[in-house]
Amino acid sequence: MLDINKDELKKDYEKKFLELNGKELRDGADLQKYEALGMLVRDYVIRAWINTNKKYKNSSEKQVYYFSMEFLLGRLLGDALLNLGIRETCKEALDELGIDLYKLENLEQDQGLGNGGLGRLAACFLDSMASLNIPGHGCGIRYKYGFFEQKIIDGKQVEVSDNWLRERNVWEMKKADKSEIVKFGGEIKTETINGKLMFTHVNYEPVLALPYDTPVVGYKNEVVNTLRLWSAEPVCNEFDFSSFNRGDFLKAIEYKNSVESISLVLYPEDSFYEGKKLRLKQEYFFVSAGLQSIVRDYKKHGGNILELEEKIAIHINDTHPTLAIPELMRILMDDERLDWETAWRLTENIVSYTNHTILAEALEKWPVEMFKKLLPRIYMIVEEINERFCKELWNKYIGQWDKISRMSIIGDGYIRMANLAIVASHSVNGVAKLHTEILKKKEMADFYYLYPKKFNNKTNGITHRRWLLKCNPELTNLLTETIGESFIKHPTDLENFEKYLDDTNIREKLAQIKLNNKNKLATEIYNTKGIIVDPNSIFDVQVKRIHAYKRQTLNCLRIMELYNRLIENPNLDIVPRTFIFAGKAAPGYYLAKNTIELISSIAHKVNNDPRVKDKIKVVMMDNYRVSLAEKIIPATDLSEQISTTTKEASGTSNMKFMMNGAVTIATLDGANIEIKDEVKEDNIVIFGLDAEEVLNYYKNGGYSSWDVCNNDLRLMKLTTELIDGTYNVDRRRFKCIHENLLDYNDEFFVLKDFDEYLKAQDRVDKLYRDSSNWQRMCGVNIAHSGIFSSDRTIKEYATGIWGSEVLYKNL
């Protein structure tokens, strides 16, 4: 915790501003004020950062490295202030200078180096590791362009590149002296020296990996961990850029472009895999740079390579960093001269893997030919791993060729990354109970029977520091006033709040806080979309990536149905609702983009119809991102978690909503199941097919969406409205959605769950009318959200997977 008072802070700030801008604070522009504050906070952080690194160097504690293609950090200023314990002091200091801290915080660009759940989870984990005194560091890519910015123009998504580094990034520190070289292409020369096979990589294309470090500040504990992101740069000496020889010059430019493309942009697909060579390059690039620097650092401080497994743990966030496995083998064998068996033992004990999806189309596999050419030495190692593995299988499963070929790491001309990750790591985990069960019993059953001990569950979590303390200060105050501050270090202490829920006074306060947050969001909606919404209506929210399995269309259909009912019966007695959507579609995902258009069309029709003006409004907000989520979530009454059961591995926004006192309407999918187990049936609204029913339909068939539709007049009308011009003069506009629901037999059971969903929504309407009980439900959700803090998740990883020392026990 930083020991600084308001006056000191004021003085430091004015000085910093002057230093940076050569003028007085009062003459500065807002962005300059933000930047100066950011730089000052970074100064405050640096002392603890250096000390933390010193401590790690001199200690024998295991260092954890979390490898991820994505880190979706969002903004950092507010969080850094909070974790340093000076956000209040800073607010007061700035108030006295006539500056609004929150306004400055709002000027920060989101650090959007991730697509969604997986990237945000990595960010929450970094925060928890630092706050729990765990030496845990992030390793990823410093994309020049993050996840694209989304504009909704004429109801359609338009992608704009996210040039987040245009303004100065005050948080990162370039570490040129820690650069590494990553090698692509070329050939491998094999020779025997002293009876040992040696491999030399020749004619390769070298890429300079330049690291940028960002501090990860722990909560009031003096710990500052590091997120290291790698940028790809040309190796300058290799080519002479000033050469007058035209051929060489062009070659040099080509080389420069090819290298810089590696860390140019984040791939915006989050559930669909396409075998792009550049993506493979990205994956190897950061994994190789990261591992080389880890091993280099380890040896520099006198570490014995044979003890590496006791000193470091490498965690891979989905299969994207799986090349860490053959790369570590390469370093241990080719650079460190260990034999295969030793390198293998170390690698297996060091690496652990999390699976985040069971969608078959998201499984990574790389064409052998492409892989071999780009990464010749790595390919040799993968081949050898596969040969040894298959031999084991032949001995074990005599004659069971189908099974062996399914499990093989290389097959049908592809390298299957999940198979490699499972075979070569000591731990494989799913991210919620149901998800892990499905991995074990279905998706990865062959491997589960071979290695039952490797498989385990780690239900996801979210950092309550950002997702409660920072984004909902009023609720945080109410909680500390009633149950004290212990929940901040021990989030499950939130349970103490439950007994206060009998107090009507407390329930009214909850309602008032929610209303205040809704008022703020209403203003934001008016400012950005020009739509007036009623803060006294139910804020009914579905914000997440747009994807068929998440079923935004189910939500659309029921709004269309409600609209029809209201037109037929203007006196229909419903609690007014505001339907809020936000989310990005992958640029190449036609159906998802079409869904955005449908939402926009419904919004256009409904919002301009005076007959329903006081009853319903529909809003599609632009550019969903971490900072927008921080505004929407505290203002939500009803959280929509309506994925097709079995498809959402966990979900994490479901946890954020409950922590902020929203009631959830959900299918029994992912972590929704665990949320229900916590709050009990009365405090959540559940509907829809269960996992068994869904799996049974997928396996045995028997579902006909036409039948369901033909037996339901409402659905007949609604599906017709999709193609009869009701929602667009161009009748073909929503043909694709219509086709998916009917001609392609509704893969995600939208029509099947429709009736139950509507009934569930009616229950919500009834529940909300009993305001006092509704507030109790919200309170129960808050009280039981502590278990979904990522602190709990990280402790489970630390003890169950990484074997890192558990110093946090002393907290």
Q: How far apart are CA 370 and CA 524, in angstroms?
A: 48
Binding region for ligand 26Q (CB under 6 A) out of 76-84, 355-363, 478-486, 533-541: 355-363
Rg (C-alpha) for the chain, rounded Å, is 27
Q: Which two tokens stand for residue 505?
A: 């006074």
How far is the C-alpha of 659 from the C-alpha of 470, rounded, in Å? 12
The DSSP secondary structure of 361-429, one letter per residue, reads: GG--EEEHHHHHHH-HHHHHHHHHHHHHHHHHHHHHSTT-HHHHHHH-SEETTEEEHHHHHHHH-SEEE
- For the bound state, the minimum distance from the C-beta of residue 79 to ligand 26Q, rounded and expressed in Å, comes to 20
Should residue 295 be labelled a site residue for ligand 26Q when binding is judged by CB under 6 A?
no
Q: Could you give the 3-state DSSP secondary structure of residue 219?
A: coil
Are residues 630 and 342 in contact, defined by beta-carbon separation less than 8 angstroms?
A: no
Task: Compute the distance between CA of residue 113 and CA of residue 162 in angstroms, rounded to an integer.
Answer: 10
Catalytic: which of 436, 652, 664, 719? 652
* One residue of 364, 637, 640, 678 binding ligand 26Q per CB under 6 A: 364
Residue 362 in the binding site for ligand 26Q (CB under 6 A) = yes
Residue 367: strand, helix, or coil = strand
Q: In the complex with ligand 26Q, which residue's Cβ is closer, 719 or 789? A: 789
Please, what is the minimum distance in Å from the beta carbon of residue 579 to ligand 26Q? 22
By beta-carbon proximity to ligand 26Q, the closer residue of 215 and 651 is 651
Chain center to CA of 528: 25
273 makes contact with ligand 26Q (CB under 6 A): yes
Torsion angle defined by CA atoms of residues 309, 313, 314 and 317, in that order, rounded to the nearest 10 degrees: 140
CB 421 within 8 A of CB 793: no
Q: Does 607 bind ligand 26Q (CB under 6 A)?
A: no
Which DSSP letter does residue 789 get?
Answer: B
Size of the site for ligand 26Q (CB under 6 A): 23
Tell the smallest beta-carbon distance from residue 120 to ligand 26Q (Å): 8
Kind of pairing, strands 196-202 and 187-193? antiparallel
Tokens of 210: 């330049």
246: CB partners within 8 A, 6+ apart = none
Kindly indicate which of the ranges 111-119, 162-170, 298-306, 620-628 contains the residues binding ligand 26Q, using the contact rule CB under 6 A: 111-119
When asked if residue 652 is in the footprint of ligand 26Q (CB under 6 A), the reply is yes
Taking a C-beta distance cutoff of 8 angstroms, is the pair 626, 74 a contact?
A: yes
- Among 8-16, 354-362, 516-524, 724-732, which window interacts with ligand 26Q (CB under 6 A)? 354-362
Number of C-alpha atoms within 13 angstroms, CB side, residue 641? 34
Tell me whether residue 656 is one of the annotated catalytic residues.
Answer: yes
Residue 200 — φ and ψ, nearest 5°?
Answer: -120, 135
Q: How far is the CB of 643 from ligand 26Q (least distance, A)?
A: 8
Structure tokens at 672: 């929704």
| Site membership for ligand 26Q, residue 117 (CB under 6 A) | yes
Query: In the numeric block, which tokens belong to residue 668?
Result: 């029994």
Does 79 contact ligand 26Q by CB under 6 A? no
- Cα-Cα-Cα-Cα dihedral sign, residues 454, 413, 364, 644: negative
Residue 588 beta carbon to ligand 26Q: minimum distance, rounded to whole angstroms: 11
Q: Is 281 among the catalytic positions?
A: no
Tell me, yes or no, if 220 is annotated catalytic. no
Q: Which residue is nearest to ligand 26Q (CB)?
A: 117
Pick one of 172, 180, 213, 270: the residue that binds ligand 26Q (CB under 6 A): 270
Catalytic residue among 75, 142, 356, 584: 356
User: How near is the Cβ of 322 to ligand 26Q at its closest, in Å?
Assistant: 11
Task: Decide: 655 and 671 in contact? Cβ < 8 Å.
Answer: yes
- Distance of closest approach, residue 273 Cβ to ligand 26Q, in angstroms: 4
Q: Is 267 in the site for ligand 26Q (CB under 6 A)?
A: yes
> Quick one: 491 or 651, whose CB is closer to ligand 26Q?
651
Per CB under 6 A, 661 contacts ligand 26Q:
no
Q: Which is nearer to ligand 26Q, 375 or 777 (CB)?
A: 375
Q: Which of 10, 356, 365, 551 binds ligand 26Q (CB under 6 A)?
A: 356
The owner of tokens 């030495």 is 377
Q: How far is the CB of 380 from ligand 26Q (least distance, A)?
A: 24
Residue 638 in tokens: 């009803």
Report the candidate in 651, 643, 670, 583 with the shortest Cα–Cα distance to residue 619: 583
Give the shortest CB-353-to-ligand 26Q separation in angstroms.
Answer: 13
Q: Is 453 a catalytic residue?
A: no
Binders of ligand 26Q among residues 460 to 499 (CB under 6 A) are 460
Q: Measured from the CB atom, is 265 or 599 closer to ligand 26Q?
A: 265
- Please tell me the distance from the alpha carbon of residue 266 to that of residue 172, in angstroms, as a whole number: 18
118 binds ligand 26Q, rule: CB under 6 A: yes
115 binds ligand 26Q per the rule CB under 6 A: yes
Number of Cβ within 10 Å of residue 372's Cβ equals 16
**Exposure b/e, 651-678, CB count within 10 A at least 16 = b:** bbbbbbbbbbbbbbbbbbbbbbbbbbeb
- Using the minimum distance from each CB to ligand 26Q, give the nearer residue, 68 or 719: 68
> Using CB under 6 A, which of the segments 27-35, 251-259, 271-279, 758-766 binds ligand 26Q?
271-279
Binding mask 121-150 for ligand 26Q (x = CB under 6 A): x-----------------------------
| Rounded-to-integer distance, Cα 606 and Cα 475, Å | 33
Binding piece for ligand 26Q, criterion CB under 6 A, among 357-365, 391-399, 484-492, 720-728: 357-365
Helix (H) / strand (E) element for 206: namely strand 205-217
489 included as an active-site residue: no
- Where does this chain touch ligand 26Q (CB under 6 A) — which range of 115-123, 389-397, 498-506, 711-719? 115-123
Closest CA to 147 of 104, 108, 103, 109: 109
Q: Cα 231 to the chain's mean position, in Å? A: 21
Nearest to 458 by CA among 547, 365, 356, 347: 356
670 binds ligand 26Q (CB under 6 A): yes
- Active-site residue among 137, 281, 544, 551? 544
- Binders of ligand 26Q among 419-448, rule CB under 6 A? 431
C-alpha to C-alpha distance for 110 and 177, rounded to whole angstroms:
28
Residue entry with tokens 């992030």: 138
Among 269, 383, 690, 755, binds ligand 26Q (CB under 6 A): 269
706 burial via Cβ count (<10 Å: 0-12, 13-18, 19+): middle
545 is catalytic: yes
At closest approach, how far in Å is the CB of 467 from ligand 26Q? 14
366 binds ligand 26Q (CB under 6 A): no
State in angstroms the smallest separation of the CB of 378 from ligand 26Q.
18
Instruction: List binders of ligand 26Q among 175-204 (CB under 6 A).
Output: none
Q: Does 215 bind ligand 26Q (CB under 6 A)?
A: no
Strand partners, 415: 366, 410
Least spacing, CB of residue 269 vs ligand 26Q, in Å: 5
CA separation for the pair 240, 567 (Å, rounded): 73
The one catalytic residue among 550, 551, 593, 752: 550
Please count the residues of the chain. 811
**Stretch of 181-189, 213-221, 262-270, 594-602 lying at the interface with ligand 26Q (CB under 6 A):** 262-270
What whole-number distance in Å separates Cα of residue 449 and Cα of residue 799?
24
740 near ligand 26Q (CB under 6 A):
no
Contact positions toward ligand 26Q, by CB under 6 A? 115-118, 121, 267, 269-271, 273, 279, 356-357, 362, 364, 431, 460, 648-652, 670
Active site positions, annotated: 356, 544-545, 550, 652, 656
